[in-house]
Each structure stands twice: as structure tokens, then as C-alpha cells.
Amino acid sequence: MDFLRPRSWAEALAAKAERPEALPVQGGTDVMVEINFAVRRPEALLDLNRVAELAAWSAEEDGRLRVGAGVPYARLIDELGDRLPGLAQAARTVGSPQIRNRGTVGGNLGAASPAGDGHPPLLAADAVVEVESAARGVRMIPATEFYLGVKRSALEPDELIRAFWAHPATGPQYFSKVGTRNAMVIAVCSFALVLRPGERRVGTGVGSAAPTPRRAAAAEEFLAAELDWDGPLDEAVLVRFGELVAGAAAPIDDVRGTAAYRRHALAVLARRTLTWAWNDLRAAGPERRTG
Ligand SMILES: Cc1cc2nc3c(=O)[nH]c(=O)nc-3n(C[C@H](O)[C@H](O)[C@H](O)COP(=O)(O)OP(=O)(O)OC[C@H]3O[C@@H](n4cnc5c(N)ncnc54)[C@H](O)[C@@H]3O)c2cc1C
């Protein structure tokens, strides 16, 4: 097995162009497990750890954050937890401290598992994935268009993930996950919620309950229209929101849970996260609700 070690982003793109079969490795928390268990035997590994550009994040001119694919979860929590609270909350549920020190959102995107915890918050926050190839340059792929099937994404063989882009939170953001135990667990199902009180908009992301992570579009539209943003949280709205989130899922029965349980749990997660978010909004007062 060849081991390619580019020292810059340009070198990494050139290496991927020359050897499209080379498997990128960032934290290695998915790749090394797959190699150890002989799930994969790549002809070459493309180690991205020396590419400094991938380990940086920045606040861009349009107000969005551009977060390098190689920023590990631990740094995301420490450095961006205030601006991307939904994603940081999801990051805190990933694996163990060791996995959070090595694992990255870029790797989560690269693996494109329907159970990846990074995906629901990215979907809910309207994130965009920046990918690049030496031949065709940069492509900006909205998260909604990135996931194509079970562990399949819109990434082409000669492309690498450079970063993801997301607006800093303008309101409450929450992530919640059901597992068969409290830590070191693959999600049975998960849900992310973003409220944008200034625009009266709602974002959602459903994980581990369909072939790909997906938004619950009907639930978003319903909530944005029916929520009394300045009044109390109506029980009927809360219940209907849960039903619509559960209805957006297309789960299967597997070792982690049944389809029926996943639908039930998603409705609970949707009601729970909306209640948390609503309480935050009320606590923040009228200024936060309009701003
Ligand atoms: C014990 C354990 C617990 C775990 N718990 C969780 C959990 O709770 N939640 C969860 O979501 N995941 C979990 N995982 C899975 C894994 O940690 C995550 O998916 C993590 O985000 C992978 O990031 P990484 O940087 O280690 O990726 P890597 O293993 O380096 O790569 C993963 C995939 O992405 C590709 N890739 C990496 N970087 C790029 C790039 N820049 N461009 C293109 N492709 C790229 C790789 O080729 C590979 O296909 C766990 C893994 C282990 C071993």
C-alpha cells in the first residue's frame, strides 16, 4: 500500500488527480477501523494531516464561517461552540475524547454514513460543503445535495473536501440523539433543530432514519408558519411538529432499533428540542426573538 503525504492543499489535489483511487485519511477513525477489519484494502492512502489549510477555520466577509475539513471535533467544540452550538452539541456526542481529538466533520462527510452525527446539524444550518479538484476547481455543494445514498456522496473520485460553510447561529440550535447507551454509540436516530427568529425560519436534520441524512421539509414549513414566535408554545403545534418530523423519516428495522421505534423516538426528539429551543428564546427576551 502506497502512503502519500502531501504538504499543502495544492499537493493534495495534485496527488488525488494522479491517483483518484487513493483513499484520503484525516483523523483515521473510520479509515483505520475499516482497514483493520479488512473492509477496505486501498492501493494507496492519501494522508491529509500535513495540509495546514485543512486544520484552519475563518470568519468570511459574507458573515459565514468556513471550517476546514480537518478541524477535529474537540477544537470545534472549544473554538466554535458559541457560534455553531448545534454542531458542537452533536460533536460532544461523538465517540470518546480520543475519537473527538482525531475525528473531523470532513471525515464524517467523507464517510457519508446515514448515522454520522455531524450531518443533521449541517442540514439544519443550511451548511454548504466546499470540495475541489485539480481539474475542475471548487464546487460548493449545499448539504441537502451532498448525501446521495448509504455511504454515498456527491464527491467525485478526483475531489477532496476542503471545508464546510455555515452561518453563525442567530437563535437557538439543538441536537439530540438516541443510542443504545449514553456514550460511544452509533445513533439509533438523531435530530437537529435550528430556529432563526429574525427571519422566522426553521431548519431541521434527521439522522440514522433513512438511507441518507435528510431535512424534514414539511415540518420546517409547518413550524415556521404556525409558531407564535412571540407567544406561548402551543401544545398542538408541538405535537404536529413531532408527527411531521417522524413522517419525514424512512427508517428500517436493524440491530440498533426497529423502524417503528425510530419514528416514535424522532417525534420525541423533535418535541424535546423544540421545547429546549423555545425556552431559550423566551429566556433571551424580545430583542433576541426579532434579531
Ligand atoms: C470508537 C469509535 C466511535 C465513533 N463514534 C462516532 C459517533 O458517535 N458519531 C459519529 O458520527 N461517528 C462516530 N465514529 C466514526 C468517526 O469517528 C467519524 O465518522 C469521524 O467524523 C471520522 O472523521 P475522521 O477525520 O477520523 O475521518 P477518516 O477516518 O480519516 O475518514 C473518513 C472518510 O472520509 C474520507 N475523507 C476524510 N477526509 C477527507 C477529505 N478532506 N476529502 C475527502 N474525503 C475525506 C476518508 O477517505 C474516509 O472515507 C466513531 C468511530 C470510532 C472508531
Q: What is the mean pLDDT of each run of 10 residues along the chain (291 residues)?
A: 97 98 98 95 97 98 98 98 98 97 98 98 98 98 98 98 98 96 90 97 97 98 95 96 98 94 98 97 73 50
Residue nearest to atom 53 of ligand 1 (CA): 29
**Residue 16 within a domain:** yes
What is the pLDDT, as a whole number, of residue 182?
81
Q: Is residue 27 within 6 Å of ligand 1 at its C-beta?
A: yes
Q: Is residue 33 within 6 Å of ligand 1 at its C-beta?
A: yes
What CATH number does residue 6 fall under? 3.30.43.10
Return the ligand 1 atom nearest residue 110 CA. 34
**Taking each helix axis from N to C terminus, what angle separates 235-248 and 217-226, rounded to the nearest 10 degrees?**
160
Using CA atoms, how far apart are residues 161 and 170, in angstroms rounded to an integer?
A: 26
This prediction has a pTM of: 0.97
What is the pLDDT, as a whole number, of residue 224?
97
What CATH number does residue 269 fall under? 3.30.390.50
> Which one of 10, 25, 48 terminates a domain?
48
Q: Is residue 44 within 6 Å of ligand 1 at its C-beta?
A: no
**Residue 85 within a domain:** no
**Residue 217 within a domain:** yes
What is the pLDDT, as a whole number, of residue 183?
83
Residues with Cβ within 8 Å of residue 79, at least 6 apart in sequence:
57
Strand order from edge to edge, sheet including 23-25: 2-4, 44-47, 23-25
**Residue 152 within a domain:** no
**Residue 104 within a domain:** no
State the distance from the centre of ligand 1 to the C-alpha of 203, rounded, in angstroms: 24
**Residue 290 within a domain:** no
> Which one of 48, 63, 81 terminates a domain?
48
Helix (H) or strand (E) holding 207: strand 201-207
What is the pLDDT, as a whole number, of residue 181?
86
Q: Is residue 133 within 6 Å of ligand 1 at its C-beta?
A: no
What b/e readout covers 178-194, taking b as 16+ CB neighbours within 10 angstroms? bbeeeeeebbbbbbbbb
Q: Is residue 69 within 6 Å of ligand 1 at its C-beta?
A: yes
**Residue 111 within a domain:** no
Cα 224 to chain centroid distance, Å, stands at 22
What is the pLDDT, as a whole number, of residue 242?
98
What b/e readout covers 153-170, taking b as 16+ CB neighbours within 10 angstroms? bebeebbbbbbbbbbebb
Domain extent, residue 228, equals: 173-282
Q: Is residue 117 within 6 Å of ligand 1 at its C-beta?
A: yes
Nearest Cα to Cα of residue 212 among 148, 143, 117: 148
What is the pLDDT, as a whole number, of residue 287?
61
Q: What is the tally of structural domains in the chain?
A: 2
**Residue 123 within a domain:** no
